[in-house]
Chain A
Amino acid sequence: MSVLRFSSAIFETCDVHYVFDPAFRRLEDESMTQRQPSKVSPKNFFIYNVCYGETEGQEEEKILFFHPRDTNVDVKMREVGLSEAIVKFAENFDAAECDAVHTKKTRKLFLQPEPNFWMIMTIHLPFGPRSSEVLEGSDYLGGDVETAVYQAVLKQAYSTARLFIGPFQSILDANNGDTTVLKKKLDDFFKRYLLDLRLADCDILNVFDGVQFLPLDRTTFLRSQCFVNLVEATFPVVSHSLLMYDGNLVWSGLNPEDVKVVYRYVCNSLLPKHLKANYLAKMGSSGSNVRLTRFVTGPDSLVDLVYSDKTPKVYLDKIQRPGFFHLVVYKVHDLVICLFLPKNKDPLRLELYRQLDVFLNERMSELITEIKSYRKSAPEQTEAPDTRYVYFNTMNLATKDSLRERKGNPSSDALVRALVRLHNHNVNLSKEGCLSSETFMRMSTDHWVIGRMSNFRQFYIAVERKKLSLQEVDDVAKRICENKLKGIFFHV
């Protein structure tokens, strides 16, 4: 799935593949493979608030976070100053907010997530031979970088930060405008977040930042919904919940905007870490039968006398009363339920976990059987290996894709980039008021990329098969549409 991994309360310093040091990174790339272009890598990442440091000589106060941390203060100030100047310059022409600045060697992405707060990320463009045919000379390959992808990465960085620390302004307000606490929180969060950010692996799925839904028939879906309702009725302390099966969302009582952030966190960070911890526990503790709880977040053991509250606290934004919640994640085989309990002064009691465990375990096991039997009756059709697709529904943020299957092959990567390009076209078209379109593109490599947009839904297909006519490609696209999009979203 997505390549963004999340820091959380139970973050472990497990395998860090990546050293966040551009200079080191570049050196390594150039020495290892002369003919392969270097990959996109981050140059800096900073956050500032324009309301601070307005008096001369104290401009540094506006910087709330700057990475790399050991940057010279003058360089920091120049970067912030340049960003501010660009934003102001653009304002002369139009009220639209600044999105990106292209230079020969870098891309600078801009985001104003809350009034007066600006997040800027600068990335190094890949550097290397222009194409595989031209071996002489190297160049900055701006054409290989789709800005929309990294803009999405920046947005995700913010939404994840807000999930854990809450809106930036609220932290300032709580401290009477003093920036110390906010700086500390930003620093704690981003230094780990950036460590795990693999820019080069980001693609169109980051742009959509959607949620995968589980295709179900009416009965099974209703059964799932009943189950969730029952949980909420039995435990009134649970204010929201979310049900997932095998990485796919089954039901959620949250706004899609909140769902996507929580979904990303649970699927890409919590569950993989839980799996890993389980695995290590089984292997490591010399055969002793460690009893594992079904709680992904919560107590390590339900009989533990020394219990400490370890659930992550997450901030939900798009609800009636935005605020922090305990996130309790409970897992039976492939079925996962996330429960949101309002955070107040008292920690969650162990007794509650015990009750939840008793209530959930059996019922969830039953539900799994039902879901499994439906999945058996309606198996997913597999596609030809040379076609890949992405689907995105703007209304409910549903995505469905088969992109990851052949990742790493350069020609496939170029095709995936072409999908982003196509998506940009569609975004531009919709800005002009054209909401439905169909586009076919044949690349010089004789591969095809197809994009459809209508009804706030977008569907993109890459066909890596040569010598197809437009008509044949059209047929391939139609077939995939029929196979993949049949009855997925009936519950929307």
Chain B
Amino acid sequence: MPVGELTSTLANAPGYEIDPSRVPAVTPAEISTEVPLKSSDLGNSAELPTEATSLEIKSCSSSATFTMPAADVSLVTSSVLPGLGSSSINALSANTEEPSELSESNTPSAVGMNGDDESGSHKDNFEGRGCERAALNDFKANVIIEAEPKASESNQEKDLVVEESDLRDSIETEAWRGEQRHVFVLSSSGKPVYSRHGSEDKLVTLFGVMQALVSIVEDSDDKIESIHFGKNVIVFQVRGPIILVAVSKKNDSVLFCNNQLTYVYNQIVSVLTLKTVTSIFERRQNYDLRRLLAGSERLIDHLLQFYETEPSIFMNGISYIPMPSAHRESVSSAIVSACSKIKNLVYAVLVANNKLISLARKRGYSMSPSDLHLILNMVAASESLKTAESWTPICLPNFNIDGFLYAHVSYMADDCPACLLLLTVDQEQFFQLSEAKMKITEKLVKNKSMTFINEVLKAPPSLWMSLHALGLSKIRHFIYKCRKTSIVVSSPLSPPYSTTEEANALFTKYQTLYSSMIHSNPQIHTLFQTSAEESVVCLLTEKYEILVAVEPMVKKQLALDMITKLCQWVQSEEDRFFLSSVPYL
């Protein structure tokens, strides 16, 4: 009884921690499962938050009871009738608020169940190879948690379900074709790993074609990069055993799509480590990676969205929440003083609203912007982190692509949306870090930083006031990046860019101009484009890069003068936007 075995693994789990970021695949219907297990003492027992206790029991019993049907259904799902599993769950959970999300997240779980036997063999294998145990733990956790909804399926409902899934198929196809951007991830043997829209199982043929295209071109000792048709583009990226494909119908540049795929790849690596990915595919070429990634789809979904809307990620830089440097320093010093004695602590990061408040690091380890964005994405994509302090392994590809860091993640207080992450290489440090966090909170409350952070987050000081005061009101929007520090300052979007559509149009313009400037040979250093909507000015200098939208009727020289003034102002206010020297732990 594979399911029974695994369940008992949970019951006897030796105080290990479930990573909340992997859990989110389970959707609102079983949201209570998301409450992370919290280890509270050094012993082997895991103390569960009160509301989760009942669930624990339920999950155990139900899986024990329905072991056979569950296995049965999952088999059908993965082989005979793609989409059956998802729809059946859909039909069952009538109270679910987001059926589509549910169905997507459950498909891989069915396959996961199907492969229970293999998970056993993998266990041995991983340990034998000395791979990160955490990966395995996560894997188990996923299987266990997702056993619950499947177990409640019953055979009688199948017939009804098939019809419904056909209907859903056709609707989905039309809507699916209408999507503006797609992202697909597959293994080099053509096995689906991820699809941004629609369920991978329905797209199996499409995945097959992608794999074929890549391999045919590889046969002639070449590499497929992109397909252009109309204003659409399809971008291919091959990373070892993983193939990533982006489709855009929004006039995006190839560079933009490629960077996005790199982020998706990094996100996958961040969940599994490259070592795990490589060793799995070395062992079995047609391994279904979804088994290990179940739950991370939401991270990828969120990351894609994040990448498309956040200026700092597209400029490959870091954004801070603007605040007076004295306040930021008092926050930093509180963090540093509480953490300075902790060995193996690499980074201490305080974030809010997708931006940094403070960052401290161990000497010799800088934080790359793309790693930071993975962290920000994890925080923003995981609602579960809000409910309790948690302990999660995360691989930061630019720090160490083959190993995990362990993150103690907690929000500062119930009334403070800032989230503190303490990242260490020591897997056993949870309680030490939990203690450090308490100390930090205390200090921040004592020196009133907490109040101040709250104030800044609630009512950010208006950048526009400053621009008006400088006589730069004709500048509608800008993104400034300091080349040395990678720090990005961007203005908030206000009319005429306040709707998503308008904002997207502006970003697309920025992004295509910017990438064509960089890609051109020789590079373009100044670009000034006037159209009826606005003038977009992009400047690449040794010190900074800046993208600006100016009112269209402004004279060229005047616009350039205003931009020079703007840059000077940003530089003079540097300490408000930047953490000019990152403190060491």
A residues near B, CB below 8 A?
Answer: 78, 81-82, 85-86, 88-90, 92-94, 96-106, 131, 141-144, 147, 414, 417-418, 421, 425, 428-429, 431-432, 434, 436-445, 469-471, 474
User: Which listed residue (A144, A425, A434) contacts B513, Cβ 8 A?
Assistant: A425
Q: Which of A100, A438, A444 gathers most chain B CB within 10 Å?
A: A444
Kindly provide the distance from the CB of A193 to the nearest chain B CB, expressed in whole angstroms.
Answer: 25
Q: Is the pair B217, A147 in contact by a Cβ cutoff of 8 Å? A: no
Kindly provide the distance from the CB of B173 to the nearest chain A CB, expressed in whole angstroms.
Answer: 10
Kindly provide the distance from the CB of B484 to the nearest chain A CB, expressed in whole angstroms.
Answer: 19
B357-368 vs A, CB cutoff 8 Å, 1 = contact: the mask equals 000000000000
Q: Is the pair A443, B227 in contact by a Cβ cutoff of 8 Å? A: no
**Given A93-B247, A421-B516, A471-B556, also A443-B525 (CB < 8 A):** yes
Provide the main secondary structure of the chain A interface. Answer: mixed
Which residues of the partner chain B approach A440 to less than 8 Å between Cβ atoms?
Answer: 526-529, 556
Kindly provide the distance from the CB of B248 to the nearest chain A CB, expressed in whole angstroms.
Answer: 9
Q: Is the pair B251, A428 in contact by a Cβ cutoff of 8 Å? A: yes
Which residues of the partner chain B approach A104 to less than 8 Å between Cβ atoms?
Answer: 222-223, 225
Which residues of the partner chain B approach A421 to less than 8 Å between Cβ atoms?
Answer: 516, 520
**Given A90-B229, A106-B222, A143-B519, also A444-B528 (CB < 8 A):** no
By beta carbon, the residue of chain B nearest A109 is B228
B499-531 vs A, CB cutoff 8 Å, 1 = contact: the mask equals 000000100000011001101111111111111
**Given A428-B251, A444-B524, A444-B525, also A102-B531 (CB < 8 A):** no
Q: Is the pair A470, B557 in contact by a Cβ cutoff of 8 Å? A: yes
Say whether B128 faces chain A, with CB atoms less than 8 Å apart: no
When chains A and B are docked, how far (Å) is the Cα of A104 from the Cα of B220?
A: 11
Stretch among B35-43, B163-171, B204-212, B469-477 lining the A interface? B204-212
Which residues of the partner chain B approach A144 to less than 8 Å between Cβ atoms?
Answer: 521
Stretch among B107-115, B130-138, B230-238, B297-305 lining the A interface? B230-238
Q: Is the pair A99, B212 in contact by a Cβ cutoff of 8 Å? A: no
When chains A and B are docked, how far (Å) is the Cα of A471 from the Cα of B526?
A: 13
Which residues of the partner chain A approach B519 to less than 8 Å between Cβ atoms?
Answer: 143
**Given A93-B232, A93-B234, A94-B232, also A434-B223 (CB < 8 A):** no
Which residues of the partner chain A approach B525 to less than 8 Å between Cβ atoms?
Answer: 442-444
Which residues of the partner chain A approach B247 to less than 8 Å between Cβ atoms?
Answer: 93
Residues B76-119 near A (CB distance < 8 A): none
What are 28 pairs between A and B in contact, CB < 8 Å? Answer: A89-B234, A90-B227, A92-B206, A93-B247, A101-B224, A104-B223, A105-B223, A131-B521, A418-B524, A425-B516, A425-B529, A428-B251, A431-B231, A434-B533, A436-B531, A437-B531, A440-B526, A440-B528, A441-B524, A441-B528, A442-B524, A442-B525, A442-B526, A443-B524, A444-B522, A469-B557, A470-B528, A474-B556
Q: Is the pair B521, A102 in contact by a Cβ cutoff of 8 Å? A: no
Which residues of the partner chain B approach A85 to less than 8 Å between Cβ atoms?
Answer: 209, 212-213, 216
Say whether B249 faces chain A, with CB atoms less than 8 Å apart: yes
Residues B526-570 near A (CB distance < 8 A): 526-533, 556-557, 560
When chains A and B are docked, how far (Å) is the Cα of A324 from the Cα of B354?
A: 67
When chains A and B are docked, how far (Å) is the Cα of A103 from the Cα of B238?
A: 12
Q: Is the pair B230, A97 in contact by a Cβ cutoff of 8 Å? A: yes
When chains A and B are docked, how far (Å) is the Cα of A486 from the Cα of B533?
A: 28
Kindly provide the distance from the CB of B280 to the nearest chain A CB, expressed in whole angstroms.
Answer: 27
Kindly provide the distance from the CB of A423 to the nearest chain B CB, expressed in whole angstroms.
Answer: 12
Q: Is the pair B230, A429 in contact by a Cβ cutoff of 8 Å? A: no
- 4 nearest CB pairs, A to B: A96-B230, A442-B526, A104-B223, A437-B531
Kindly provide the distance from the CB of B391 to the nearest chain A CB, expressed in whole angstroms.
Answer: 41
Q: Is the pair B529, A434 in contact by a Cβ cutoff of 8 Å? A: no
B residues near A, CB below 8 A?
Answer: 177, 182, 206, 209-210, 212-213, 216-217, 219-232, 234, 247, 249, 251, 254, 505, 512-513, 516-517, 519-533, 556-557, 560
When chains A and B are docked, how far (Å) is the Cα of A94 from the Cα of B519?
A: 27
Which residues of the partner chain A approach B224 to less than 8 Å between Cβ atoms?
Answer: 101-103
Which residues of the partner chain A approach B533 to less than 8 Å between Cβ atoms?
Answer: 434
Q: Is the pair A101, B530 in contact by a Cβ cutoff of 8 Å? A: no
Which residues of the partner chain A approach B526 to less than 8 Å between Cβ atoms?
Answer: 440-442, 470
Which residues of the partner chain B approach A434 to less than 8 Å between Cβ atoms?
Answer: 531-533
When chains A and B are docked, how far (Å) is the Cα of A97 from the Cα of B532?
A: 30
Q: Is the pair B213, A441 in contact by a Cβ cutoff of 8 Å? A: no
Q: Is the pair B527, A439 in contact by a Cβ cutoff of 8 Å? A: yes
Which residues of the partner chain B approach A432 to less than 8 Å between Cβ atoms?
Answer: 251, 505
Which residues of the partner chain B approach A131 to less than 8 Å between Cβ atoms?
Answer: 521-522
Q: Is the pair B226, A98 in contact by a Cβ cutoff of 8 Å? A: no
**Given A93-B249, A99-B228, A440-B526, also A418-B520 (CB < 8 A):** yes
Q: Which of B505, B525, B529 gathers most chain A CB within 10 Å?
A: B529
Other A-B contacts than A440-B556, A445-B522, 14 sampled, CB-CB below 8 A, are: A90-B227, A90-B232, A92-B177, A102-B225, A143-B521, A144-B521, A418-B524, A428-B251, A439-B527, A440-B529, A443-B525, A444-B523, A444-B525, A470-B528
User: Which listed residue (A100, A106, A431, A441) contacts B251, Cβ 8 A?
Assistant: A431
Q: Is the pair A438, B529 in contact by a Cβ cutoff of 8 Å? A: yes
When chains A and B are docked, how far (Å) is the Cα of A267 from the Cα of B409?
A: 73
Which residues of the partner chain B approach A89 to less than 8 Å between Cβ atoms?
Answer: 206, 209-210, 213, 227, 234
Kindly provide the distance from the CB of A91 to the nearest chain B CB, expressed in whole angstroms.
Answer: 9
By beta carbon, the residue of chain B nearest A418 is B520
When chains A and B are docked, how far (Å) is the Cα of A131 from the Cα of B228?
A: 26
Q: Is the pair A437, B524 in contact by a Cβ cutoff of 8 Å? A: no
User: Which listed residue (B216, B222, B516, B522) contacts A105, Cβ 8 A?
Assistant: B222
Q: Is the pair A437, B529 in contact by a Cβ cutoff of 8 Å? A: yes
**Given A82-B216, A86-B213, A93-B247, also A436-B521 (CB < 8 A):** no
Q: Is the pair B217, A99 in contact by a Cβ cutoff of 8 Å? A: no
Q: Is the pair B521, A103 in contact by a Cβ cutoff of 8 Å? A: no
Q: Which of B206, B219, B232, B505 gathers most chain A CB within 10 Å?
A: B232
By beta carbon, the residue of chain B nearest A103 is B222
Which residues of the partner chain B approach A102 to less than 8 Å between Cβ atoms?
Answer: 224-228, 254
Kindly provide the distance from the CB of B223 to the nearest chain A CB, expressed in whole angstroms.
Answer: 4
When chains A and B are docked, how far (Å) is the Cα of A438 from the Cα of B230?
A: 23
Kindly provide the distance from the CB of B453 to the nearest chain A CB, expressed in whole angstroms.
Answer: 41
**Given A143-B521, A436-B531, A440-B528, also A99-B557 (CB < 8 A):** no
Q: Which of A428, A434, A441 gathers most chain B CB within 10 Å?
A: A441
When chains A and B are docked, how far (Å) is the Cα of A382 from the Cα of B42?
A: 87
Which residues of the partner chain A approach B532 to less than 8 Å between Cβ atoms?
Answer: 434, 436-437
